Structure 1
Amino acid sequence: MKIWGRANSINVMKVLWCADECGVKYERTDVGGAFGGNDQKWYLDMNPNGVVPTIDDGGRVIWESNSAVRYLAAKYAAGSLWPTDPGQRSEADRWMDWQLSTIAEPMRIAFWGLIRTPPEKRDMAAIGKAAAEAGRLFGRLDGWLAGKRYVAGDHFTIGDIPVGCFIHRWYALEIERPDLKNVRAWYERLTTRPAYARHVMIKLT
């Protein structure tokens, strides 16, 4: 399997983490950001959006990070990472979609404002507002996790991967955060997973 994308991209992190959890061997090539390449014809022929990651699994090319996570889990970890029960899988799926539809934007503002913007150009009011909104939204996850070990129940699934990448950034950023005991306990469980530590718990850049 080939994976194209830079390791410090949160969307690439999802796929690398999932691939390791599935036990899939792969070759990763730096693309995007400072590495460039994602605007070249060879890349756009695979991924017309020109973003990362893109994976090629024996000729099957997949882009969009959450779709790639679903593909890998369905093919290589059905019954564990990929719940075969439709009801349980719907619980994993909804939190994957929630990451895209709900938490991504305030987290993007806070992350880009604090990590990828020079100090003299930071809009601290916008960053503070985004951080507060992220805290409010993560409160929904905190309520959902009451009595659960993971987002889809007692076992780690695809549902934990996209939101799990964002929760590390939330704890790593220098922002004010509400005390969310269920989210914190879930995050601490994730930190014990070697693939999470390897691909997600890295320096923010």
Structure 2
Amino acid sequence: MNRGEQGPQEPSDAPHANALSSGARPAGSHAGRLYPENARRSALLRIGALCGLALSGDVLAAVTAPAGNGAPELLTRDELALTGVLAELIIPQTDTPGALAVGAHRTIDHLLKACVPKRDQADFRAGLARIEEAALAQGGKRFGALPQARQVALLHAIDNGAAPFKGTDQHFFRQLKSYVAFAYYTSEAGASKELAYLPFPGGYTGSIKVTRSTRTWAI
């Protein structure tokens, strides 16, 4: 798949300075992403509640299955690739892996197939199509082939409901950010490298000292 078909590129080993960020970041931080810090936890709770209502047994196993490299379950390959590009812009690689490296786009594809109603599936795919249409109209190229600065400008426009996007597009993008947060922070890397994770916790401690650098616990 060539660049014009917007296949997501594998991130390099070295952390990069993303166009969404400014200044130095502390270790394990994605401070410059398009996903506000104070919205992450509520996003996880909302999507977790959605899946809790819809998932059990085999369906839960399907959603939590490791991401692979095979054909997507619901999205087309182009839609999956675009989702990967968007996810990486929302949570880019820094000194910790970004959304693309943990396979967030494939987890989102699983999520859409397993526990999202068909109408909402159609709305999600329509949102992806509108981003492509805006990219072609403004830049003459598909979104994945645009310079990163142009990509970021379009995402800020849709996040703010600004032209050429509408309120429905803003709703789609906020839903996408919720999906990306859920997929990222339930991955091994997201839970263990960005959040604090203790696989075998000890006794209960009712009060601990917390500083600005203390990470949120994964569980």
TM-score, normalised to structure 2, is 0.28
TM-score, normalised to structure 1, is 0.29
